[in-house]
């Protein structure tokens, strides 16, 4: 159980850092394009969050399956 919590906290910290760096990189270029084109940035932000949570839940399922395999041996 502590191993799974440690793995989940690592993934959450890594992905949070990655998302913040990615959004800061994209914000300047997307905001200038969005103001020029008039598109909505909420779609980009929602897409980033959807990818983030799908990776978090998949890694949680993978770590849970890995631990159950390891415990069954």
Range of the domain at 68: 2-72
> Could you identify the residue written with the tokens 């940035």?
41
Total domains in the chain come to 1
Whole-prediction pTM:
0.35
Structure-model confidence comparison of residues 43 and 14, the more confident one:
14
- At 37 the pLDDT is 53
Q: Which residues of 6-30 are buried (b: 16+ CB within 10 A; e: fewer)?
A: ebeeebeeebeeebeeeeeeeeeeb
**Which residues, in sequence order, are CB contacts of 67 under 8 Å at separation 6+?**
3, 4
Q: In this predicted structure, what is the pLDDT of residue 52?
A: 86
């Amino acid at each position: 159980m502590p191993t799974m919590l440690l793995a989940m906290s690592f993934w959450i910290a890594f992905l949070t850092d990655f998302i913040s760096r990615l959004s800061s990189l994209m914000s300047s270029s997307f905001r200038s394009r969005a103001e020029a084109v008039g598109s909505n940035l909420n779609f980009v932000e929602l897409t980033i969050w959807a990818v983030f949570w799908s990776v978090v839940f998949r890694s949680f399922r993978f770590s849970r399956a890995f631990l159950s395999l390891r415990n069954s041996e």
